[in-house]
Amino acid sequence: MNEFPDITIIAKALSNASKMKILDELMDSKGHTVTELSRASQITAQTVNHHLNEFMHNNWVTMERSGRFHYFFLTNSNVALLIEQLSSVPIEKKAHSLQRALELEKDELFRTCYDHMAGHIGVLMTQALLNQGYLDANFIITPTGISFFKNNLSINTQDLYDLKRQFSTKCLDWSERQYHIGGALGHALLQSFEDKHFITPHKHVKRALILTPAGNDFLQKYLDIYI
C-alpha cells in the first residue's frame, strides 16, 4: 500500500525564501550551474548546494555533467505548475524600483512558465484555441485541432501522447488569473514558436518573451489575436 503523500515536504520548500529563489531561477527549464544560481539568487554556493541536494532527493531536480560543469534542471513539471498556481494568490506586493516595475510589466505581458508560454498573450492564445474549437473545455484536442497544429505549426499531436507526461494541462496564470495551456502540447507550442521565430527571449528580463513581427502576423491570421 502506498503511503499518504507527505505534503510537509512541499510546504517546507515553499516556505523557505532561499529555496524559492532557486526554484524560481530553474523555472525557465534551462540548466543552471551552482555559481549561476548563487549569483542570481544572492545565496552562497554552499546554501545552493544544500537546497539542490534536497530537491534531487525529492526528485524535483536532476543534474547533468558537461565537461567540468554540472548543470541543474527542474524536471518535475508538477512542482512548476504548483509554483505558478500559488503565485496567483492575490497578495499585493509593490515593486521597489522602476526597473522592477518594468520587468513585472514585461513578465505579465508574455513569458515562459517552466516549458510553455504564459502571461497575457499566452492566455489570449489559449482562449483563441478554445474559441475556435481546436481544444474543448477540458483542453482535449479536437479533430480540427489536430489538423490546425499539424498544418500551421508542424506539431504532430499524436507523437505527444507517447511522451511520459500529461498531454495538456490547465495551468492557472499568476498574473492573468486565467488558464494557459501547459503539458506536452504547451511545450510543443513553445518549441514551434521558437523554431518559426515567432518569439525571441527578452535580453534583460528573465523568462520574458518578445513577440516578433512574424509571430504577430501568425496570431492575427490564424487566431484572430491583435496585440
Per-residue pLDDT reduced to its tens digit, 181-204: 999 999 999 999 999 999 999 888
Q: What is the pLDDT of residue 172?
A: 83
Q: What is the pLDDT of residue 104?
A: 52
CATH no., domain 7-75: 1.10.10.10
Q: What is the pLDDT of residue 3?
A: 52
Number of C-beta neighbours around residue 2 at 10 A: 4
Mean pLDDT (whole number) for 112-119: 91
Residue whose C-alpha cell reads 521558437 in the numeric block: 194
Mean pLDDT of the chain: 85
Please tell me whether the overall predicted TM-score, pTM, comes out greater than 0.75 for this model: no
CA-CA distance, 116 to 114, in Å (whole number)? 6
Positions of CATH 1.10.10.10 in the chain: 7-75
CA-only gyration radius of the chain, Å: 18
40-96 pLDDT, tens digit each: 888 899 999 999 999 998 889 999 988 888 999 988 878 887 777 666 544 444 444
Q: Is the pLDDT of residue 25 over 60?
A: yes
The three-point CA angle 31-49-100 to 5° equals 60
